[in-house]
Structure 1
């Protein structure tokens, strides 16, 4: 009877040992399984983050955009180009030191902005000019932007080109005030109706910087 009891006890202890090993193994597997899932999650997040970073690098104006953003870029490019054309005429014609300083500031700011807006349109799959949009009429002599806010006519540009000294300084200041105010109007429209954050930021810069330049040109006119 005693031997039988000892046999039963040994059998019971063996079963307990087996259950303990199985339980420990199950816990270990569960722990390993949890680590693997975590690793997969991290890997997936890293890939997504890397893709987003690459997209931001490839697209200079990431995020949603609308027709107002496109119109802003397509309109502001020729607007800035005319400001640069006016500024180039100052070489050898302007005599006022402050006018010359403002000419340099306009060239420094607006040429890079032109390149920036061109890069947006390329990323958005849109042409640089609204004249190139499907269904638009293509004139034989190129686009006429004289009807755009603040743009000078061909006759205005000829008058500026013919001026020298103080006459040029005064005419340049008057024209650039009108030109800047046109750009400010366009930028304010973008702030109201645009959707793309990058485009709206540039519009805010245009409003701020060109408003400050308008004030400077007005002071120049007061003393000329």
Structure 2
């Protein structure tokens, strides 16, 4: 008789526990905080459609590239802007061949072209693989950190010898510092791992070249 009572109490206890679990499961969604989280709002990303299809806009701050890697609109903007940024550095470096008075400066300018030219190709391929345009018509590249004005480029083009050397060093140091700032912005907000690695390499290389420019003692 005592054994039967024990079984009855056990069965009742199990039933009560099951009821409690069911209540908790049903009420759990209602007890979640309704306040907004402190995370930043998602970045709107344009997703290009297939041929003949219109593009779509996603509220996700990350989308997937064909290779499975994640990226966001900040990655796209960085790649687009850095193409134009590097292109100006290559343009400036190309002027040194027949204008610089310092053989060391000419060698350093050639090094800058050799480093940044291939990076432009990598950035173009990155954008193409994701169906993104090489540039954003709505963005003024002249606003980018370190970008030199057309007037400054014109003055550099007209300069020769020591005057060219002085202008080049001052302008290229400012240009490189701007690239470092852009790379830092991407490292804080970008999503693409490979692009972040490139940005870090760019920042390190730009820092190294700034030191070399200063070591020329031409300013």
Give the shorter-chain TM-score range.
Answer: 0.5 to 0.7
| Alpha-carbon RMSD | 1.7
Q: For the structure 1 residues 71 and 144, does the alpha-carbon distance in structure 2 shift closer, same or farther, using more than 3 Å as the test?
A: closer
Alignment partner of 1:94 out of 71, 83, 100: 100
The aligned residue for residue 200 of structure 1 is 196
Separation of aligned partners in 1, 2:208 and 2:129: 31
Separation of aligned partners in 2, 1:116 and 1:62: 18
SS of match in other structure, 2:70: coil
Q: Would you tell me which structure has more strand in proportion to its own residues?
A: 2
Q: For the structure 1 residues 216 and 120, does the alpha-carbon distance in structure 2 shift closer, same or farther, using more than 3 Å as the test?
A: same
Deviation at 1:145, TM superposition (A): 1.9
Q: Is the 8 A contact 2:89 2:175 kept in 1?
A: yes
Deviation at 1:219, TM superposition (A): 2.0
Q: For the structure 1 residues 223 and 145, does the alpha-carbon distance in structure 2 shift closer, same or farther, using more than 3 Å as the test?
A: closer
Q: For the structure 1 residues 62 and 117, does the alpha-carbon distance in structure 2 shift closer, same or farther, using more than 3 Å as the test?
A: farther
Segments of structure 2 that go 5 or more residues without pairing to the other structure are 1-64
Deviation at 1:223, TM superposition (A): 5.0
Q: Would you tell me which structure has more helix in proportion to its own residues?
A: 1
Deviation at 1:79, TM superposition (A): 0.2
Q: For the structure 1 residues 110 and 60, does the alpha-carbon distance in structure 2 shift closer, same or farther, using more than 3 Å as the test?
A: farther
Q: Which has the higher contact order (CA 8 A, sep 6+)?
A: 1
C-alpha distance after superposition, 1:149-197 (max 9, x if no partner): 1001110011001110111111100000000000000011111111111
Segments of structure 1 that go 5 or more residues without pairing to the other structure are 1-58, 137-142
Does 2:156 correspond to 1:160? yes
Separation of aligned partners in 2, 1:100 and 1:186: 26
The aligned residue for residue 69 of structure 1 is 75
C-alpha distance after superposition, 1:12-60 (max 9, x if no partner): xxxxxxxxxxxxxxxxxxxxxxxxxxxxxxxxxxxxxxxxxxxxxxx79
Alignment partner of 1:147 out of 143, 154, 166: 143
TM-score, normalization by structure 1: 0.66
Alignment partner of 1:130 out of 131, 136, 140: 136
Q: For the structure 1 residues 69 and 93, does the alpha-carbon distance in structure 2 shift closer, same or farther, using more than 3 Å as the test?
A: same
Aligned length: 155
Q: Is the 8 A contact 1:83 1:179 kept in 2?
A: yes
SS of match in other structure, 2:142: coil
